[in-house]
Structure 1
């Protein structure tokens, strides 16, 4: 029995989320052994080399970046660097499931930011879902409580920078190869964290640390490749909700590898955030279907006689 495009897309999305979360767990495994800037630089070296090979094999290195895309690529790099710093800082200092739960707010922040900056329409139902999602995030972060610390704010900063990255990505021309943009971004992340690592002491890297860094680089490349493949099969409205499987992976890895299990209030907040995001994706799919249906009706009617 042949597998449908939607099922293939769902499996690819789950594979992408698993790869990204395993990367996070490997990086967290280096906390306390290798300084953050050194970890990000070494992973950046491996990642950039792998991306360069893939980009070369795909013919992306023969393309040139149009001048009008320089601005979006720059802001995308700012978003990537900022999100990497704040996310990994939080990851080093809080349970992986907690920071993963905070990051589930991304569909909500991107929808809100697109409405504010790109004037994309957002109805009261989606706005209500966004507000409910932010209440869920506050339950996870819990400002003013004993469990609150600066790294909870770092998690929110990571969400803001990823939102900036994704908005900049939307402004890129369709003709720009994804792997070329990825290579440029990966290279400058490597350079930034390489320079930042010179401001502190370097730690000795043993075999275990090298395996974790190399594995993290492979996983992040795998996650990115899967995410590209997802966009080419299946319906986005069907496939996108499987993005939330990253939270399941984070819960499992946090419990099995690090012995962490979130508090009940954190799980309730995560459930609210996920439910709000799923509703936002559902409404997005509904609006897209209606727009396509209206366009088809318009085309079937043909031009009006003068």
Structure 2
């Protein structure tokens, strides 16, 4: 059977989400006994080596970033580094499924931030979806003496940093090589946490932990590679919704590895966040199609 571009893109997006979620599961296990900066540095060495090897083979290291892009790349790095710290710190103390679900609010926060910062138009339907999704996040974090703690705030800060990263990514020109940006990001994150780890008392790494570190770094690399392939294989509007398969992986791994299963209220929040995000992606696709149709009509009118 011949696989269509969109089907291939969807498959790679699901593999990407599996790679990232498995890596998160391994990092959650590793940070129980090892300092966070040590773990990020060691994992980063693996990811950087694999990413550099791929970039060298594909000739991406010989490409140059346009000068105007460096500012965006810098702020993207700030977002990536901040997200790595706050996300993994929160993940250490929160259930995997809960943390993954909170991060699925990104399409909503990116749309909201783009509307506020760049005056991108947002109709009442998408604004309603954003508000519903944020309410779903509240249900997941469960503010109150029993469910909420300061690591829940870390989760929200992580969303903020990833929103910054994704906004900068959206503003990058199409001429900017995505693989080169990935290499720069991997090197920067590894370097920053390498410096931070100098002031931390390192713990001995056992054989099982070494294997987990290599596996985690490898799965991050697989996640990046599959995400890039997915976006280049099919229509972004068709492929992007498959990001939500990360929730399925997180639920399964959270139950199998950590014995966690979300409460009924949390599951309701998860469904609201996923539904709101999917509706937002759908509306963005509809608006994009409408814009392209208007542009095509305008072009044909000028030709008369």
1:74 is matched with: 74
CA pair 237-63 structure 1, distance change in 2 beyond 3 A:
closer
SS class of match (1:78)? helix
2:18 is matched with: 18
SS class of match (2:232)? coil
Report the TM-score, using the length of structure 2 for normalisation.
0.97
SS class of match (2:233)? coil
How far did 1:220 drift? 0.6
The separation in 2 between residues aligned to 1:53 and 1:95, in whole angstroms, is 34
1:167 aligns with 2:163: no
Report the TM-score, using the length of structure 1 for normalisation.
0.96
How far did 1:273 drift? 0.6
8 Å contact from structure 2 (residues 105, 133) kept in 1: yes
1:235 aligns with 2:221: no
Q: Report 1:53-72 matches (<5 A).
A: 53-72=53-72
2:132 is matched with: 132
Q: Report 1:1-306 matches (<5 A).
A: 1-304=1-304
How far did 1:248 drift? 0.6
Residues 206-238 of structure 1, C-alpha deviations (whole Å, 9 max, x = no match)? 111111111111111111111111112222222
The separation in 1 between residues aligned to 2:37 and 2:178, in whole angstroms, is 26
Q: Which runs of 5+ in 2 are unaligned?
A: none
How far did 1:293 drift? 1.6
Q: Which runs of 5+ in 1 are unaligned?
A: none
8 Å contact from structure 2 (residues 231, 239) kept in 1: no
The separation in 2 between residues aligned to 1:179 and 1:10, in whole angstroms, is 20
Q: Report how many residues are paired.
A: 304
The separation in 2 between residues aligned to 1:194 and 1:257, in whole angstroms, is 29
SS class of match (1:291)? helix
The separation in 1 between residues aligned to 2:261 and 2:31, in whole angstroms, is 18
